[in-house]
Amino acid sequence: MEIERKFLVRRLPEGLEQYPCHSIEQAYLCTNPVVRIRRQDDAYILTYKGQGLLAREEYNLPLTGEGYFHLLGKADGNILTKKRYVIPLFSGLKAELDIFEDKLAGLWLVEVEFPDVETAEAFQPPDWFGTDVTFSGAYHNSVLSSMERFTPDPGLQAEDPSKLPPEV
C-alpha cells in the first residue's frame, strides 16, 4: 500500500545539491489501472498502481534493461524525465522532490510517503512546500504523461522556476 501526499513546490530548499539525486525516465503502458515502467539511474522497474489519491495499492517488480526498452516502445503518451532529490525531513520521513524536464520543464512536485493514513493526515509540511495537490488527480504522473506541455498556474506553482541552480 502506498500512502503519500503530493505538493507543488513554493521554492527549492536550501543546499539542494547536497542531497542524493536520481535521474528518472518513466512511461505508461496503461493509465487505468496504472502500469508504469521506470528507469531510475541503472535500475529498471515495472509498477502497478491501483485507484486512489492518498492511499492506493502499489506493486513493484524488477525489469531488465532489455525488457524496459522493449516495453518503452509500447508506451502511451510522453516519456517523463525528471531529477529526483531525496531530502530528509523529520521522524524518519523524506521528501522526494521531482524537477521535471523536457515538455514538463518548470513543474516541481514533492511527495512524502507515510507509514499510515493517520501520519499522512497529521503531516505539517515545511515552508518550502506549496499547494497540497494530493486530492487532485491532475498531478498524477500518469495524467501528466498525456500533456503536450506544462503551463504553470501562477497562483499555485513555484515562485520562479527559472531560478534553478546550475547543477540541477
Q: What are phi and psi of 137, to 5 degrees?
A: -60, -15
**Catalytic one of 28, 44, 68, 85:** 28
Residues 59 and 81: their CA atoms lie apart, in Å, by: 21
Question: Is residue 28 annotated as a catalytic residue, yes or no?
Answer: yes
Contacts of 118 (CB under 8 A, 6+ apart): none
As given in the structure block, the three cell numbers for residue 124 are 505539517
Residues 152 and 139: their CA atoms lie apart, in Å, by: 12
DSSP 8-state code for residue 33? T
For residue 107, how far is the Cα from the chain centroid? 10
Beta bridge partners of residue 35, listed in sequence order: 30, 48
Residues 94 and 85: their CA atoms lie apart, in Å, by: 10
Residues 42 and 44: their CA atoms lie apart, in Å, by: 7
**Known catalytic residues?**
28
